Amino acid sequence: MFNFVGRNKRFAQVVMAIIIIPFAAWGVDSYFRDAGAGGDIAKIGDLRISPQDFSNRMTDRQNMARQQMGERYDPAMFNTPEARYEVLNQMITENLLLKKANDDYFRVSDQKVFDEINKIPAFQQDGKFSPDLYKQLLLQQAKPMTPAQFEHLVRSEFLTAPLTEAVQAGELSAVSTAERYYLLAGEKREVAMASLETADFVKQVKISDEEIEDYYTKNPQSFQSPETVSIEYVKINKAALLEKVAATDAQIHDFYESNKKRYEQPEKRNAAHILIAVAKDATGAQKEEARKKAEDVFNKAKATPDKFAALAKEFSQDPGSAAQGGELGVVAVGSFVKPFEKAIFDAKENGIVGPVETEFGYHIIKVTIHPGRQPAFDEVKAKVASDFKQNEVGKAYAEKAGRFASMVHENTDSFDEISKKLEAPISKAEFLTRAQVAQLANGNQQLAEAVFSPDSLRDRQNTDAIEIGSDAIISARVIDHKATTVRPLEDVKPAIKKLMEARKAFELTRAAGEEKLAQLRQGKSVAGLTFGKPVTIGRQQQQLGFTADVQAEAFRLEAGKLPAYLGAAVGQSRYTIYRVEKILLATAPEAAQKEATAQRLRDMKGREAMNAYLQNLRDNTKVEINQSKLDSAR
- Given a cut of 70, whether residue 205 has pLDDT beyond it is yes
Residue 106 burial by Cβ neighbours in a 10 Å radius (0-12, 13-18, 19+): middle
Three-state SS at 586: coil
pTM of the model: 0.47
- Given a cut of 80, whether residue 380 has pLDDT beyond it is yes
| Residue 226 backbone dihedrals phi, psi, to 5 degrees | -70, 155
Query: Among 75, 81, 85, 100, which Cα is nearest to 26's?
Result: 85
Strands (E), 483-615: 485-486, 535-538, 564-570, 574-584
Query: Among 613, 553, 603, 560, which Cα is nearest to 578's?
Result: 553
Other C-beta atoms closer than 10 Å to the C-beta of 198 total 24
Query: Above pLDDT 90, what percent of the chain?
Result: 38
- For 15, 167, 436, 626, the CA distances from 32, given in Å and listed in that order, are 26, 28, 33, 8
How does residue 6 score in pLDDT terms, banded at 50, 70 and 90? very low
How does residue 253 score in pLDDT terms, banded at 50, 70 and 90? very high
Lowest mean pLDDT among 51-55, 143-147, 184-188, 626-630: 143-147
The whole-number pLDDT of residue 82 equals 76
The whole-number pLDDT of residue 535 equals 93
How does residue 33 score in pLDDT terms, banded at 50, 70 and 90? very low
Distance from C-alpha of 434 to C-alpha of 226, rounded to nearest angstrom = 9
Q: What is the DSSP letter of 460?
A: -
How does residue 488 score in pLDDT terms, banded at 50, 70 and 90? very high
How does residue 21 score in pLDDT terms, banded at 50, 70 and 90? very low
The whole-number pLDDT of residue 20 equals 31
Q: Can you name the residues that pair with 482 across neighbouring β-strands?
A: 228
Please, what is the end-to-end C-alpha distance for the chain in angstroms? 26
- Given a cut of 90, whether residue 180 has pLDDT beyond it is no
Q: Can you name the residues that pair with 610 across neighbouring β-strands?
A: none
**Average confidence (pLDDT) over 328-342:** 83
- For 176, 548, 589, 605, the CA distances from 182, given in Å and listed in that order, are 10, 21, 7, 16
Q: Can you name the residues that pair with 368 across neighbouring β-strands?
A: 270
**Which strands make up the sheet holding 327-330, listed edge to edge?**
327-330, 268-277, 361-370, 351-358
- Given a cut of 60, whether residue 32 has pLDDT beyond it is no
Length reported for the chain: 634
Can the peptide bond before residue 131 be classed as cis, meaning omega within 30 degrees of 0? no
pLDDT tens across 106-164, in order? 677 777 777 788 888 878 887 788 877 887 777 766 566 777 778 877 877 776 666 66
HEC string of 126-148? CCEECHHHHHHHHHCCCCCCCHH
- Given a cut of 50, whether residue 604 has pLDDT beyond it is yes
The whole-number pLDDT of residue 23 equals 29
Query: Above pLDDT 70, what percent of the chain?
Result: 88
How does residue 470 score in pLDDT terms, banded at 50, 70 and 90? confident
Quote the longest CA-to-CA distance of the chain. Answer: 98
Other C-beta atoms closer than 10 Å to the C-beta of 503 total 14
Distance from C-alpha of 261 to C-alpha of 268, rounded to nearest angstrom = 16
**Average confidence (pLDDT) over 207-234:** 93
- For 124, 180, 268, 269, 354, the CA distances from 330, given in Å and listed in that order, are 15, 46, 7, 6, 18
Q: What is the DSSP letter of 78?
A: G
Lowest mean pLDDT among 54-68, 333-347, 396-410, 555-569: 54-68
pLDDT tens across 515-528, in order? 999 999 998 888 88
Distance from C-alpha of 247 to C-alpha of 243, rounded to nearest angstrom = 11
Q: Average pLDDT, whole number, for the chain? A: 82
- Given a cut of 70, whether residue 246 has pLDDT beyond it is yes
Distance from C-alpha of 633 to C-alpha of 35, rounded to nearest angstrom = 15
